[in-house]
Chain A
Amino acid sequence: MLALQGDVREHAAALEKLGHEVVLVKRPEHFEDLAAMVLPGGESTTLSMLLDSSGVRDPLEAWVQGNRPTFGTCAGLVMLASTVEDGRSDQKTMAGLGISARRNGYGRQRFSFETLAAIPALGEPMEAVFIRAPRITSVADDTEVLATIDTDHGAEPVAVRRGNVIACSFHPELTDDTRFHALLMEIARSASGAEDH
């Protein structure tokens, strides 16, 4: 998983709990033999800068655009979006998902919240922790909505998938719920199976 900045430890703990080995990616040479990639929560402007200076942006972009198994949360979702609103003008994204994301779309920290997200594809609703979270403002036809929360304007998307790339605007890694991490590894299994045949 990308380990330049952010809540790396929580994601690593979730993956390890599911019995997977975790490689911390900070440099281009760390990309060898990876089955799946996690982009953690953190500060997206900082992460964007560190991607460039560490030389990780190019291999990561190739990874995402090659439809390799990827899961991003919060800042990770911003990195995977096609367009970012209220970002910095020099902020680049990977376009792994057909979505627009607005940074801090729910407001400053005082408005950060917990709620239950409906996630029919994975069963029971999920505890969802939103921290200065990005808001998904549009979803293209090629991208599937996995989870929603209720708002004044009706149900709003908070988790999405396109091909082998998934992302959510909240932080499942801050709870004990590992269903997203399990989904990622399931995607990784079928992707490697497809390659073998």
Chain B
Amino acid sequence: MSSDSNTQNSRTTGTFRVKRGLADMLRGGVIMDVVNPTQAKIAEDAGAVAVMALERVPSDIRRDGGVARMSDPQMIVEIQEAVTIPVMAKARIGHFAEAQILASLDVDYIDESEVLTPADEANHIDKWAFEVPFVCGATNLGEALRRISEGACMIRSKGEAGTGNVVEAVRHLRSIMGDIKKIGVADEVELYQWAKELRAPIEAIQEIAETGKLPVPMFCAGGISTPADASLVMQLGAEACFVGSGIFKSSQPELMARAIVEATTHYEDASVVAKVSTGLGEAMKGLEVATLETRLAERGW
């Protein structure tokens, strides 16, 4: 490990390009929540581009209640040893000490996640301070741009994790994509109003006006539980899918995992999505969002 240092042979690690680059490589793929090495192996066998190592999937966190924290490092290490694909892990919002621990374990991406109980009610982690890249959730464009300004290299919709209900993810994607389109046709002066309204840096708004897209990849998370859900969010502009409870809370996880991978790749081809949707058994049961006591998506500032 010590043979590769920061500056050796004029190599530079932890640049924005290197950190964002891994997100680019994951595009068009599925990142799956796993709680042990066996599940990680199933995910890899099914074609996951990465796994998210966590102690409990969101639907169990929701059921059990209590404070949800970073996973046991031992479990993360076992999952790293079980698979060859990238391994991500979650830290609580604002809990930079958890993030430091995850970084020291060499996880490939850190998710500063609203699924865990927030540790700081005002501040998110300063993600520029890390060589390991971060993904953060967002419900709207302003939130996405604040996370990017703190150093996030990938944004995912928050959705409403652990519900098996895609409605919130769709709302968040539509909100983010819709505002990007509107900024694209706004004039120079209006951009300042957008910055004010979204509580986002003007430079970021100007960049979106120029390029027509978010400066980092935009993935979808929160409630995806069938191949059709994956196809829907990809058609709405997501560049990849995170699937949490949807796989290992379904009746046949191997088949469901594989089917969601296929549907994410061939999202625009309904005949393929139909084929892989056949004979999957039961999807996770799912929850109506209006009846929830805790709205995870409201965490984050």
Asked if chains A and B come from one complex, the reply is yes
Q: Is the CB of A45 within 8 A of B108?
A: no
Which residues of the other chain, B, contact A108 by a CB distance below 8 angstroms? 86, 106-108
Q: Is the CB of A43 within 8 A of B49?
A: yes
Q: Is the CB of A50 within 8 A of B12?
A: no
Give the distance to chain B from A114, nearest Cβ to Cβ, in Å.
5
CB of B295 within 8 Å of the partner chain: no
**Binary CB contact string for chain A from 68 to 83 against chain B (1 if under 8 A, 0 otherwise):** 0000001100000000
Q: Is the CB of A107 within 8 A of B47?
A: no
Which residues of the other chain, A, contact B9 by a CB distance below 8 angstroms? 115, 149-152
Q: Is the CB of A131 within 8 A of B15?
A: no
Give the distance to chain B from A116, nearest Cβ to Cβ, in Å.
7
Interface residues on A, range: 35 or more
CB of A181 within 8 Å of the partner chain: no
In the bound complex, CA of A50 to CA of B267 (Å) = 13
Give the distance to chain B from A17, nearest Cβ to Cβ, in Å.
15
Nearest opposing residue in chain B for A49, CB measure: B47
Q: Which of A143-171 contact B (CB under 8 A)?
A: 149-152, 171
Residue from the list B3, B44, B108 in contact with A109, Cβ < 8 A? B108
CB of B74 within 8 Å of the partner chain: no
CB of B26 within 8 Å of the partner chain: yes
Which residues of the other chain, B, contact A179 by a CB distance below 8 angstroms? none
User: Interface stretch among B17-25, B160-168, B179-187, B247-255?
Assistant: B17-25
Count of inter-chain pairs, beta carbons less than 8 A: 137
User: Interface stretch among B54-62, B225-233, B258-266, B277-285?
Assistant: B258-266
Nearest opposing residue in chain A for B14, CB measure: A110
Q: Which of A90-147 contact B (CB under 8 A)?
A: 103-104, 106-116, 129-132
Which residues of the other chain, B, contact A150 by a CB distance below 8 angstroms? 9-10
Which residues of the other chain, B, contact A42 by a CB distance below 8 angstroms? 25-29, 49
CB of B11 within 8 Å of the partner chain: yes
Q: Is the CB of A109 within 8 A of B133?
A: yes
Q: Is the CB of A112 within 8 A of B27?
A: no
Q: Is the CB of A41 within 8 A of B25?
A: yes
CB of B38 within 8 Å of the partner chain: no
Q: Is the CB of A46 within 8 A of B13?
A: no
Q: Is the CB of A8 within 8 A of B103?
A: no
In the bound complex, CA of A40 to CA of B106 (Å) = 25
CB of A65 within 8 Å of the partner chain: no
CB of B208 within 8 Å of the partner chain: no
Q: Is the CB of B17 within 8 A of A174?
A: yes
Residue from the list A4, A10, A46, A130 in contact with B48, Cβ < 8 A? A46
* Extra contacts besides A46-B85, A74-B25 (13): CB < 8 Å: A42-B49, A49-B47, A50-B47, A107-B1, A109-B22, A109-B107, A112-B18, A113-B11, A114-B18, A115-B12, A132-B25, A132-B108, A174-B17
Q: List 17 A-B contacts (CB under 8 A).
A: A7-B25, A8-B28, A10-B24, A26-B266, A26-B269, A42-B28, A45-B84, A88-B84, A104-B84, A108-B106, A110-B13, A112-B22, A115-B10, A116-B10, A129-B18, A130-B18, A175-B17
Report which B residues bind A (CB closer than 8 A). 1, 3-4, 8-15, 17-19, 21-22, 24-29, 44, 46-50, 84-86, 103, 106-109, 131-133, 261-262, 265-266, 269
